[in-house]
């Protein structure tokens, strides 16, 4: 079990209390209220998982307001904005969001948000925090968009190196990548892994990158080519619709080839869309955050607390964990900003500065994420990168591997 999920909830609670005492300023006489904008997709390609992810991040903010916020005299208000996972829609909504909320931070959803706002946020002095892995097109210094995980290509490369070792291959592991030109994020996922494979031909061979629609109807012909090429795995870090179409196409071709998913389209969500997680027997998910398993782990105990006291109605799965991890590190950064500047007159710029002032510890995120060390050099941590891997075995999601090293993936 990975180090950022096996810590006991009691130990984290004690550590959190110590942090709170050491960082608590004198209680404010009056409350300071700040706004958070949450970019959401309740009607587009992520409509099936959005209520779960949104529930996770909202419950964390409610918990923070009821606990830490009360100590500090701070209230964080939030509002969801429907973007349909479309960059044009995000760009269109943004002026109204700024005018209505004047937010100190934005919780983003995915690639369209980065594409639409990446160049605007520095001028507006408002940071955006994602729940997802990062993107190559956003990999630059002095960013205003931040991911708690490295790029999707880092995460898939870590998985493929693990799979190569598991299979005992002397040569490269052979893969196909599912992508779509409908989203810059989907294209980016493919390009990063393609570059890694080109620079490390002894480790990975990309046999084909299949570009399709965001919601494809039939991929049987494309998968026939993939099956004939003898791939060891199919990488799908896009959405649940592409997962289902790919899985059905592989089954139609009589192929028993595992697929690897990310967190936002992971085994629970894609399994539900496919008619049950048993439909994904033998398939994987890989990402740089805690795996959602029940037990005496800090993340699960935090989930139970949010469910019992703060209205979280989402099931305990990777999508809920992704929302919880996003909310957890956002409120932790805001907590640091208050410690550095006081509770009054907090701004987006001060929140961003706090991100670089010290580590966001795994105790602060209740074990949802490893300790994060951000620098202005990149929009995600560059050191100590790890992934955790889950798999469907006998119809159940189980932990396959933890703390898997992520190889060096050069900027593309």
Cβ atoms within 10 Å of 79's Cβ, excluding its own: 13
Contact 125, 383 (CB under 8 A): no
Rounded distance between C-alpha atoms, residue 253 and residue 258, angstroms: 14
Q: For residues 196-204, give the mean pLDDT.
A: 98
End-to-end CA distance of the chain: 32
H or E element at residue 287: strand 284-287
DSSP letters for 155-196? HHHHHHHHHHHHHT-SSPEEEEEEE-TT-HHHHHHHHHHHHH
Residue with tokens 């048993």: 278
Q: What would the pLDDT profile of 224-282 be if each residue is shown by its tens digit? A: 999 999 999 999 999 999 999 999 999 999 999 999 999 989 999 899 999 999 999 99
Contact 229, 208 (CB under 8 A): yes
* CA-CA-CA-CA torsion sign (129, 260, 249, 188): positive
The CA angle 263-388-208, to the nearest 5 degrees, is 65
As beta bridge partners, residue 206 has: 175
Q: What would the pLDDT profile of 313-352 be if each residue is shown by its tens digit? A: 999 998 899 999 999 999 999 999 999 999 999 999 999 9
Where would I find the H helices in 168-266? 184-199, 220-228, 240-252
Tokens of 73: 């005299």
Q: What would the pLDDT profile of 352-389 be if each residue is shown by its tens digit? A: 999 999 999 989 999 999 889 999 999 998 887 889 99
Rounded distance between C-alpha atoms, residue 179 and residue 183, angstroms: 9
Contact 373, 148 (CB under 8 A): no
Tokens of 361: 């510890």
Rounded distance between C-alpha atoms, residue 186 and residue 173, angstroms: 22
- Using alpha carbons, select from 204, 202, 203 the residue that is nearest to residue 175: 204
pLDDT for 27 equals 40
Q: What would the pLDDT profile of 137-181 be if each residue is shown by its tens digit? A: 889 999 999 999 999 999 999 999 999 999 999 999 999 999 999
Q: What would the pLDDT profile of 207-224 be if each residue is shown by its tens digit? A: 999 999 999 999 999 999
Rounded distance between C-alpha atoms, residue 403 and residue 186, angstroms: 25
The CA angle 281-203-194, to the nearest 5 degrees, is 85
Rounded distance between C-alpha atoms, residue 367 and residue 280, angstroms: 27
Helix 9-23 / helix 318-341 crossing angle, nearest 10 deg: 20
Task: Show the domains of the chain with their CATH numbers.
Answer: 23-150+298-381 (3.40.50.2300), 152-287+387-405 (3.40.50.2300)
Average pLDDT, the chain: 92
Rounded distance between C-alpha atoms, residue 378 and residue 355, angstroms: 12
How large a percentage of the chain has pLDDT more than 70?
Answer: 93
Q: Cα torsion at 288, 291, 295, 296 (round to 10°)?
A: 10
Task: Return the biggest CA–CA distance within the chain.
Answer: 70
Rounded distance between C-alpha atoms, residue 345 and residue 300, angstroms: 35
Contact 238, 266 (CB under 8 A): no
Rounded distance between C-alpha atoms, residue 183 and residue 86, angstroms: 8
Q: For residues 128-139, give the mean pLDDT.
A: 92
- Using alpha carbons, select from 353, 356, 370, 242 the residue that is nearest to residue 299: 370
Q: What would the pLDDT profile of 62-85 be if each residue is shown by its tens digit? A: 999 999 999 999 999 999 999 999
């Amino acid at each position: 079990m990975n180090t950022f999920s096996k810590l006991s909830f009691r130990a984290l609670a004690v550590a959190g209390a110590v942090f709170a005492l050491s960082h608590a300023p004198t209680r404010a006489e009056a409350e300071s209220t700040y706004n958070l904008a949450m970019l959401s997709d309740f009607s587009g390609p992520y409509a099936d998982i959005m209520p779960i992810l949104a529930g996770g991040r909202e419950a964390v903010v409610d918990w923070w307001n009821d606990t830490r916020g009360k100590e500090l005299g701070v209230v964080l208000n939030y509002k969801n904005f429907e973007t349909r996972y479309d960059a044009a829609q995000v760009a269109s909504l943004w002026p109204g969001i700024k005018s209505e909320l004047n937010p100190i931070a934005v919780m983003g959803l995915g690639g369209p948000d980065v594409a639409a706002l990446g160049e605007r946020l520095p001028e507006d002095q408002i940071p955006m925090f994602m729940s997802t892995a990062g993107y190559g097109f956003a990999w630059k210094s002095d960013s205003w968009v931040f991911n708690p995980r490295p790029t999707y290509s880092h995460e898939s490369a870590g998985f493929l190196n693990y799979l190569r070792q598991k299979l005992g291959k002397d040569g490269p592991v052979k893969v196909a990548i599912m992508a779509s030109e409908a989203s810059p994020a989907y294209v980016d996922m493919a390009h990063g892994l393609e570059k890694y494979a080109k620079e490390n031909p002894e480790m990975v061979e990309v046999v084909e990158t299949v570009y399709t629609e965001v919601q494809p109807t039939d991929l049987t012909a494309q998968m026939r080519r993939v099956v004939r090429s003898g791939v060891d795995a199919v990488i799908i870090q896009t959405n649940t619709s592409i997962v289902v179409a790919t899985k059905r196409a592989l089954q139609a071709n009589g192929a028993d080839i595992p697929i690897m998913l990310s967190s936002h389209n992971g085994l629970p969500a894609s399994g539900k869309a496919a008619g049950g997680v048993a439909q994904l027997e033998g398939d994987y998910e890989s990402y740089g955050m805690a795996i959602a398993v029940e037990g005496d782990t800090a993340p699960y105990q935090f989930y139970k607390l949010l469910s019992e006291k703060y209205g979280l109605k989402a099931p305990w799965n990777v999508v809920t964990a992704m929302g919880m991890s996003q909310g957890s590190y956002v409120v932790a950064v805001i907590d640091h900003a208050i410690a550095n500047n006081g509770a009054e007159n907090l701004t987006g710029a001060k929140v961003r500065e706090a991100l670089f002032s010290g580590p966001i510890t795994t105790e602060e995120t209740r074990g949802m994420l490893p300790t994060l060390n951000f620098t202005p050099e990149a929009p995600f941590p560059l050191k100590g990168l790890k992934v955790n891997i889950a798999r469907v075995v006998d119809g159940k999601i189980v932990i396959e591997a933890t703390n898997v090293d992520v190889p060096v993936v050069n900027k593309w």
